[in-house]
Amino acid sequence: MKVSVLDIQGKDTGRKVDLSDAVYGIEPNNHAVYLDVKQFLANKRQGTHKAKERAEISGSTRKIKKQKGTGTARAGSIKSPVFRGGGRIFGPRPKDYSFKLNKNLKRLARKSALSIQAKDNNIIVVEDFSFETPKTKNFMEVLKALGIENKKSLFVFAESNKNVYLSSRNLKHSKVVTNSGLSTYELLNANKVVLFESTLEGIESNLSK
């Protein structure tokens, strides 16, 4: 698949790059995508939810009324779940929601996500650029030049670019990552995926193993 390379003004540089069919042109595996997205969301859960149960409530353990003769149900403790301020029955406890997936399945999921975006013409290739200082205005100008200022966008660098990352951090709908930190969820969550020329080789190398 041939794709034109754009500059940061959104103009065609006249160069084209070849996107590998082994990465950008496969038949998507929906189940692999589902599992990888499920793992991504599960790993983000803190799992710190906790409610006190009967044994953890502070309070007296005395019998609050006599067993018989009151005309109401018997009660042995003020900490009973039937009373206000009592313990919760089977309340939530801290839990680790993360789970593992093998590397081959995760590679297949990412190739599937890239293939889906490539099929929908949502991949943009731009020449490498950087900013001298972090400035959100400069990043907004790039978004406007590419025509994606009102769309969710994912910028993928070959290696960490601090100034561009800091320039994009205030923007809700744009995210900057490196190819080693690429995730299936973020690929599919973006309306446009912006790849840099220097990124292509790294992506194909990582996903072709």
Q: What is the pLDDT of residues 45-58, one digit of tens each?
A: 999 999 999 999 99
**Confidence bin at 27 (pLDDT 50/70/90):** very high
CATH numeric code, 2-45+98-207: 3.40.1370.10
Residue 62, amino acid? R
Q: Give per-residue pLDDT as tens, 138-185.
A: 999 999 999 998 999 999 988 888 899 999 998 989 999 998 889 999
- Start-end of CATH 3.40.1370.10 domains in the chain: 2-45+98-207
| pLDDT at residue 8, rounded to an integer | 85
Structure tokens of 199? 């990124």
Nearest to 99 by CA among 182, 41, 162, 178: 41
Question: What pLDDT score does 36 carry?
Answer: 96
Q: In sequence order, which residues have a C-beta less than 8 Å from that of residue 183 and are 6 or more positions away?
A: 36, 40, 110, 177
pTM metric for this prediction: 0.81
DSSP state of 195: E
Q: How would residue 4 be classed by pLDDT, with cut points 50, 70 and 90? A: confident
Full DSSP string of 79-125: TSTTSTT-PPTT------------HHHHHHHHHHHHHHHHHTT-EEE
Question: What is the per-residue pLDDT across 84-129, written as a single tens digit (0 to 9) for each?
Answer: 999 999 999 999 999 999 999 999 999 999 999 999 999 999 998 8
For residues 7-14, give the mean pLDDT: 86
Distance CA 198, CA 204 (A): 11
Q: What DSSP string describes 59-76?
A: S--S--S-SSSSSS----
Task: Decide: residue 134, CB within 10 A, 0-12 exposed, 13-18 middle, 19+ buried.
Answer: middle
203-209 average pLDDT score: 83
User: Residue 177's beta-bridge partner residues?
Assistant: 156
Residue 178's Cβ-count burial label (10 Å; 0-12, 13-18, 19+) is middle
pLDDT of residue 197: 87
Average pLDDT, the chain: 91
| 15-34: average pLDDT | 91
* 83 token code pair: 């009373």
**Assigned token pair, 107:** 């590679």
Residue 209's pLDDT band, with cuts at 50, 70 and 90, is: low
How far apart are alpha carbons 76 and 95 in whole angstroms? Answer: 31
Predicted confidence at residue 61, as pLDDT, reads: 85
